[in-house]
Amino acid sequence: MAGGKIRKEKGKQKSGPYQGQGLGAGGISFHKSKGQHILKNPLLVESIVQKAGIKSTDVILEIGPGTGNLTKKLLEAGKMVIAVELDSRMVLELQRRFQSTPYSNRLKVIQGDVLKTDLPYFDICVANIPYQISSPLTFKLLFHQPAFRCAIIMFQKEFAMRLVAQPGDKLYCRLSVNTQLHARVSHLLKVGKNNFRPPPKVDSSVVRIEPRKPRPQVNPVEWDGFLRICFIRKNKTLSSIFRLKNVLSMLEKNYRTLQALQSSQNSSLGNTEIGTDTPSLGDSNGDQSMGVDDGSDDEMDVEDDDGDSDVEGEVSEFKDKVLAVLREGQFEEKRASKLTQQEFLYLLSLFNKAGIHFS
């Protein structure tokens, strides 16, 4: 992976703007249970700002500013910083720190939960976030309108490695495919846990996320439903996955429902939209459906079926239809763990052409 590694500085921390971060300026205690881990290494802060590529005209969204170590550097580099912070104690500390300074009129602090906040316009996002909100925040940003230029985010190391994983990698999963459909993702820095106070239990990584332009024209709900099935057992062949009774039952139910809707639509004068449409991103609350993907292993307990135990006349006709799609695209013996994004898109298009949908 590209990027370097930030090591903990040896020796005692020198006095200056980073002093007193054990409790925080003003004696603030940090809560590990809330994911509060404050950056204490000034070299790390400088490196993050440098790699963000901030322009003097940029409006910067900072999520989780803490006591403002990174905020100060962002204010020096950009036009304005909008900081979203949940903890009222941190909000007061930020306001105290920058009042009566040249930066005071270029800093706007929003107190609240970033996942429930309507985000304003911004050019760049920089975030050191509680790791428990990594996935929902990632997809909230990816669906933000208008699209921003890039986001530089500190994640738990394993989550970051899943974001950037490629086909064939051990950590390649549904999260990898979902994220990379909507953005270019690159690994920037490995960050040891001792660069924080209090130190977290695991190491971290800084990742750069650049939303794709134009946005992919895919129904996000159907895309996610399709990937959930493909990654039920990511190292099994797609042929074996699409023979599973639970999978066939769900797909056939969707198929029959859509047929009934289309029949009803054809017999009426209305133009009711149905699931065969492919709206652009953001049209279907895709951030909610995809945000639950936490990057953990996708395998789940399902009812296996070798394809020979169907009751005569039941499912078999529809199963043949599904397997014919796999044969058409030569996907029968392929595995989700090794498929590229373009292969997933192609397979989904073949299913849709056959009238088979996943939402």
**Which residues make up each annotated binding site for S-adenosyl-L-methionine?**
37, 39, 64, 85, 113, 128
Tokens 């990937």 correspond to 227
Output the known binding site. 37, 39, 64, 85, 113, 128
Side chain identity, residue 51: K
- Please return the burial class of 300, using the count of CB atoms within 10 Å of its CB with bins 0-12, 13-18 and 19+: exposed
Whether 132 contacts 35, CB under 8 Å: yes
Is-contact 288 135, C-beta < 8 A?
Answer: no
The strands making up 183-191's β-sheet, listed across from edge to edge, are 4-6, 183-191, 204-211, 150-156, 124-128, 59-63, 80-85, 107-111
Q: How far apart are CA 201 and CA 193, in angstroms?
A: 7
Count of beta carbons in the 10 Å neighbourhood of residue 99: 10
How far apart CA 310 and CA 226 sit, in angstroms, is 23
Taking the C-alpha atoms of residue 288 and residue 158, their distance in angstroms, rounded to an integer, is 22
Q: How far apart are CA 114 and CA 132, in angstroms?
A: 13
